[in-house]
Amino acid sequence: MQGVLAAAYDCLRRDEAFAFATIIAMRDNAAAHAVPVGSKILVKADGSAIGDLGSPELNAAAATRLLHALNESRGGLWHCGVDGEAQRDDLTIYIDAFTRRPRMIIFGAVDFTRALVRVAKTLGYHVSVCDARGAFATAERFPEADDVIVDWPHRFLRGLTPRLGPSDAVCVLTHDEKFDIPALVEVLRTDAGYIGAMGSRRTNEKRRARLEAEGVGADQIDRLMAPIGIDIGARSPEETAIAICAEIIATRSATPVPSLRDSSGPIHRVAGHEDGDLTQCRVEDDDSSNAR
Amino acid sequence: MLDLLDEIERWLTEGHRVALARVIDVQGSSPRDPGAAMAVCETGEVRGSVAGGCVEGALVSEALKVLETGAARLCTFGYSDDEAFAVGLTCGGTIKIFLELVS
């Protein structure tokens, strides 16, 4: 591969954000343009450019457009003159924008984690698993994860670069206050787009109180999706992973879904019972159970 | 797109000609957004997709023309097309696709 596509390939492999423009059509009056249809220019986040659309003025106008597309992570069609003039349509240019892969950080190296890693990888996330217990956080247990880190979650978060942003997700599956609380205090200081924590409704009440006691504001605590996932009656680690990822997608697209956080009643239902029987099949809302 | 480029790089290294198709515009209902891409190798191998599977077959023959002539082309698939019944989008939308030779 040569030229701009080779540069694009390089950026994708290094997980670097970039945008590139391709001339896809020319009007007859632009037939004398210095370069043919298919010509490209690529711009990276640092402003550096490679490629040529046929005139210095057009290249400069394209670079400005591309940086904007990169920041908005949104491409599209652009009509302009042969020197990038607005309100002309001599050239039709298509802009592609690529951001770095979104990150998912999973705290807690438990069975639910392995299933969540798999679903998150399917969705294109760069997935990190972090747990302070070296016996559990091993690459052998999570072969699909991009990295497995043995560290205290809050310490790992403090050292994380770049900082978490709106397209990133954090899932706290540790089920252990001494890891959960410091991790959540730290996560709620970031701009992560999705923050979820596993645990029963009772665990969650206690968790909210502990976070308040740590000085986390109510509006910040309200960002927390807990119990984690949407209410689809998920039970196994794999089903739970789907319920969590469905909630992450819905959060990103601002689509209303039946999140467990916004409902009441049992998280796990016994199969075969109708809604009217819910009171009879309420599972023990006990921290020792693996209730979400 | 990374998967696609991995494959394109492999095909090129093996000495094959490769065409790249990208959705550049979508009107109405369509399975994939602009940016969706498909690569076609002269051996007939295909990676990626531009819709839900409804136009990919027809797109392969367009890609083979690109491989033959080397000239980039724009294709439109949808109900407004004369060939709507042959290769239209069942969902009723229209998609514009840019095809080019990768070098």
pLDDT in tens, A96-146: 999 889 999 999 999 999 999 999 999 999 999 999 999 999 999 999 999
Band of residue A280 on the pLDDT scale cut at 50, 70, 90:
very low
CA–CA distance from B85 to each of A157, A270, B54, B89 (Å)? 55, 49, 11, 9
Residues 6+ apart with CB under 8 A from B1: A8, A12, A98, B35, B37
Class of residue A42 by CB neighbours under 10 A (exposed 0-12, middle 13-18, buried 19+): buried
Residue-wise pLDDT for A208-265, tens only, equals: 999 999 999 999 999 999 999 999 999 999 999 999 999 999 999 999 999 999 988 7
Among the residues of A111-253, which ranges form H helices? 111-122, 153-158, 177-187, 201-213, 218-221, 237-252
Using a CB-CB cut-off of 8 Å, the residues of chain A touching B102 are 1, 5
CATH of domain A103-267: 3.40.50.720
Mode of pairing for the β-strands spanning B46-48 and A40-44: unpaired
Interface touch B5/A77, C-beta < 8 Å: no
Residue A12 to residue B25, Cβ atoms within 8 A: no
Nearest CB to B9; choose among A9, A37, A75? A9
**Chain A contact probe: residue of B33, B67, B98, B101 with most A CBs at under 10 A:** B98
Query: What pLDDT was estimated at residue A286?
Result: 46
Distant-in-sequence, close-in-space partners of A99: CB < 8 Å, separation ≥ 6: A17, A70, A73, A167
Q: How far apart are the C-alpha atoms of A143 and A234, rounded to whole Å?
A: 24
Per DSSP, the residues of A26-50 read E-GGGTT-SS-TT-EEEEETTS-EE
Contact list, A76 vs chain B (CB under 8 Å): 34
Residue whose C-alpha is closest to residue A93's, from A106, A80, A110: A80
Is A94 in contact with B24 (Cβ distance < 8 A)?
A: yes
Cα dihedral A21, A27, A31, A33 in deg (nearest 10)? -40
DSSP A281: T
Asked whether the beta carbons of residue B5 and residue A1 sit closer than 8 angstroms, the reply is: yes
Cα distance from B54 to chain A (closest Cα, Å)?
23
Could you report the per-residue pLDDT of B22-64, keeping only the tens digit for each? 999 998 877 788 999 999 999 999 999 888 777 888 899 999 9
Closest CA to A211 of A190, A176, A187, A184: A184
CB contact under 8 A, B72 and A76: no
Residues forming CATH 3.40.50.720 domain(s) in chain A = 103-267
Please indicate whether, in this complex, the C-beta atoms of A13 and B2 are within 8 angstroms of each other.
yes
